[in-house]
Amino acid sequence: MVLDRFLVLPLLLSLLFLSLATGLVQDFCVADLSKEDTPAGYPCKPVSEIGYCDFVFSGLATPGNTSNLIKAAVTPAFVSQFPAVNGLSISAARLDLAVGGVIPLHTHPRGSELLVVIEGNITAGLISSSNDVYVAKLHAGDTMIFPQGLLHFQINSGNSPVVAFVSLSSPDPGIQITALSLFSNNLPSEIVEAVTFLDDAEVKKLKKLLGGSG
């Protein structure tokens, strides 16, 4: 009996987390952002407080501000902005790239990305874990998939602004930009140099550009 209890409790707990994560026992779980996030997502807002507007997000209607170093903006509709995606394996974002704009090499640790080009031309690419490179020129209406966790990038390769939308297979896919990981924090320069084979001058230059120290 004692053994049973030890077996049943973890089973029940994992079923609970599974159902939170996949919505098996309820239609939806709109996030209550005032509560603590958990590995299975946020706790649910009470159904009695939910209306149609919980399921609508208008934040992607507005172009992002591209007056920045990368001449580009990512406007997210992840769980923090759009609580209705909580517990569902989906979210979205809008990409705006001014002429010359670039979304630098990055990964989404928790989701695959489906990109749809609405306006302009994009040169996009991904690098597989065997370091094979797949680069494509995309035009309005083209769709490209970037599998979970793989390094990828988008460049405005045309002569007018780019608008694109992406959907990601996680309510909170995360975004890790390689250049920022290396040069915008306090990882000591000698370590950055050792792990990248870049020389000291180049590392210091990039740290200065991207706000890193050390």
Ligand X SMILES: *[C@@H]1O[C@H](CO)[C@@H](O)[C@H](O)[C@H]1NC(C)=O
Return binding residues for oxalate.
108, 113
CB of 127 to ligand X, least distance (A): 24
- Whichever of 63 and 109 has its CB closer to ligand X, that residue is 63
- Whichever of 70 and 187 has its CB closer to ligand X, that residue is 70
CB of 73 to ligand X, least distance (A): 9
CB of 157 to ligand X, least distance (A): 7
- Whichever of 67 and 130 has its CB closer to ligand X, that residue is 67
- Whichever of 139 and 208 has its CB closer to ligand X, that residue is 139
Burial tier of 143 (Cβ tally within 10 Å: 0-12, 13-18, 19+): exposed
Q: Which of 119, 115, 109 is nearest to 167 (CA)?
A: 115
Burial tier of 71 (Cβ tally within 10 Å: 0-12, 13-18, 19+): middle
CB of 136 to ligand X, least distance (A): 12
- Whichever of 38 and 65 has its CB closer to ligand X, that residue is 65
Contacts 24+ apart (CB under 8 A), 23-31: 23/87, 23/88, 28/84, 28/87, 28/88, 29/86, 29/87, 30/54, 30/83, 30/84, 30/86, 31/79, 31/83, 31/84, 31/86, 31/87
Neighbouring CB atoms inside 10 A of 53's CB total 9
Q: Is there a contact between 162 and 101 (Cβ–Cβ < 8 Å)? A: yes
- Binding-site positions: 106, 108, 113, 152
Helix boundaries (H) for 146-199: 178-183, 189-196
Output the residue with the shortest Cβ distance to ligand X. 158
Interface residues toward ligand X, by CB under 6 A: 65, 67, 120-121, 139, 158-160
- Binding-site positions for Mn(2+): 106, 108, 113, 152
CB of 97 to ligand X, least distance (A): 11
